[in-house]
Amino acid sequence: MRRKWEFDVSEAVRIHAHGGAEALVYEHVPLPEPGPGEALVHHTAIGLNFIDVYYRSGLYKVPHLPVTLGMEGAGTVSAVGPGVGHVKPGDRVAYAGGPLGAYATDRVIPADRLVLIPDGIDDRTAATMMMQGMTAAYLLHRTYPVRAGDWIVVHAAAGGVGLILCQWARQLGARAIGVVSSPGKAELALANGAVAAVVGYGSLAAEVKKLTGGAMVPVVYDSVGKDSFTASLDCLAPLGMMVTYGAASGPVPPVDPAILGARGSLFLTRPSLAHYPARRADLERYAGLLFEVVRNGAVKISVNQEFRLADAAAAHRAIEARATTGSTVLIP
């Protein structure tokens, strides 16, 4: 349990201006007491996400500067403000999504974003699976509900979201074609549920055509953005769903809707974790689906890299250099 004076200060990684990894500053920041509807969480583990890079660089807007980065963590509730009923001090909790502020030893957060971590899932796993796993949950269950027998294309298949998507697709009876940048990553995707792996985008559509006997796929989950967008469209069957959910290589340039018609009445969507689990009932649904597949072993969360929170800059450099696989944890 926290002592009173500890409400006053947290150690955190903030940016004072947008920039490269060197913009991340480890420092003491003021820590308010939780207000109405809020909880104070003492982090034991924090998840690193590629999205953190977008907020750092300025691709995504931050509410103010300086700001503490980070969208995902796990730990223990230290205190709650008035009107908070579903969590109490001592509870083991995790969360993902806004508001920013996870890169800290302690933080105040709207309590309705917290879920209890079930027995059998440790904090390190919980901290790294919420963002990537709930994203996989809504992509596979809502954006395009995958059916047994579907062929699907998964980009960055050896990454955090990618490894989860491939395993979960296998559990649903779908056949994931993983797209990666190296033979080593191809092996990893294949070991985690992908039925085929393609290195690079150059021959992607041709490989997909071969694998699917010319039928192509009903959905592409594309987190790479600029570099892969056109190759992804080329993989889709008529009436297929192009899901552009990330921009690791940079944002997709403006699109003329006519290209969707010409390629077979395609659908194009740009979904976000900010919206799918916005309502508490949906957050509980997606978290519940995720906890179930992790607890029953269908999806294994591979926490392949660990950094001290104070070394967040090194973690950012690694994920930007495509040097990480699976998930990455920051330990405060």
Nearer to ligand NDP, 171 or 272 (CB): 272
Q: Does 283 bind ligand NDP (CB under 6 A)?
A: no
Work out how close the CB of 116 gets to ligand NDP at its nearest, in angstroms, rounded to a whole number: 22
Nearer to ligand NDP, 77 or 157 (CB): 157
Nearest residue to 212 via CA among 155, 263, 151: 151
Could you give the string, one character per residue 37-66, with x where binding to ligand NDP holds by CB under 6 A and - elsewhere?
------------xxx---------------
The structure tokens listed for 251 are: 């944002």
Work out how close the CB of 42 gets to ligand NDP at its nearest, in angstroms, rounded to a whole number: 24
Q: Does 302 bind ligand NDP (CB under 6 A)?
A: no
Q: Does 185 bind ligand NDP (CB under 6 A)?
A: yes
Within positions 86 to 145, which residues make up the interface with ligand NDP, using CB under 6 A? 131-132, 135
Query: Cα separation of 118 and 91, whole Å?
Result: 11
Work out how close the CB of 179 gets to ligand NDP at its nearest, in angstroms, rounded to a whole number: 7
Which residue in 73, 75, 101, 162 binds ligand NDP (CB under 6 A)? Answer: 162
Contacts 24+ apart (CB under 8 A), 188-191: 188/158, 188/163, 188/325, 188/326, 189/154, 189/157, 189/158, 189/162, 189/163
Q: Say which residue the tokens 């979904």 belong to.
A: 271
Which residue in 57, 171, 181, 230 binds ligand NDP (CB under 6 A)? Answer: 181
Q: What is the DSSP letter of 104?
A: B
Work out how close the CB of 131 gets to ligand NDP at its nearest, in angstroms, rounded to a whole number: 5
Nearer to ligand NDP, 262 or 278 (CB): 278
Nearer to ligand NDP, 79 or 94 (CB): 94
Alpha helix locations (H) across 172-257? 183-191, 204-211, 229-233
Which residue in 102, 158, 165, 266 binds ligand NDP (CB under 6 A)? Answer: 158
With contact defined as beta carbons under 8 Å apart, do 183 and 151 qualify? no
Q: Does 245 bind ligand NDP (CB under 6 A)?
A: yes
Work out how close the CB of 320 gets to ligand NDP at its nearest, in angstroms, rounded to a whole number: 6
CB proximity list for 17: less than 8 A, separation 6 or greater: 23, 65
Nearer to ligand NDP, 67 or 273 (CB): 273
Which residue in 211, 224, 266, 294 binds ligand NDP (CB under 6 A)? Answer: 224
Query: Cα separation of 165 and 226, whole Å?
Result: 21
With contact defined as beta carbons under 8 Å apart, do 152 and 177 qualify? yes
Q: Does 232 bind ligand NDP (CB under 6 A)?
A: no
Work out how close the CB of 240 gets to ligand NDP at its nearest, in angstroms, rounded to a whole number: 19
Query: Cα separation of 111 and 84, whole Å?
Result: 7
Query: Cα separation of 112 and 104, whole Å?
Result: 19
With contact defined as beta carbons under 8 Å apart, do 218 and 237 qualify? yes
The DSSP bridge partners found for residue 9 are 30
With contact defined as beta carbons under 8 Å apart, do 243 and 267 qualify? no
Which residue in 187, 271, 298, 318 binds ligand NDP (CB under 6 A)? Answer: 271
Nearer to ligand NDP, 10 or 324 (CB): 324
Residues that bind ligand NDP (CB under 6 A): 49-51, 131-132, 135, 156, 158-162, 180-181, 185, 223-224, 227, 245-249, 271-273, 319-320, 322, 324
